[in-house]
Amino acid sequence: MGILRDIGLPGIIVILIAALLIFGPQKLPEVGASIGKMITEFKKSLSSDEEKKDEENKK
């Protein structure tokens, strides 16, 4: 996450304005919700993969 640390507040504001212009105010909440679900599923898959590795190492 090296690049995300360097963005800062002005960069985040620019990204939000660009997203608002691209998707429009009606679609923006839907896009945010779908991104949140995607991140949650990604974290779940990573944790389940780690659990499988731990179980294999115990055997």
Domain boundaries, the chain: 2-58
For the question of whether the overall pTM of this predicted structure is more than 0.75, the answer is no
Cα–Cα dist 3/21, whole Å: 23
Question: At residue 46, does pLDDT exceed 60?
Answer: yes
Averaged pLDDT, 29-52: 86
Token pair listed for 7: 């963005």
Token pair listed for 32: 């945010």
* Neighbour-count burial for 30-58, b at 16+ CB within 10 Å, e otherwise: eeeeeeeeeeeeeeeeeeeeeeeeeeeee
Averaged pLDDT, 7-28: 87
pLDDT value at position 3? 63
CATH number of 2-58: 1.20.5
Q: How confident is the model at residue 40 (pLDDT cuts 50, 70, 90)?
A: very high
pLDDT value at position 37? 95
Identify whether the C-beta of residue 31 lies closer than 8 Å to the C-beta of residue 19.
yes
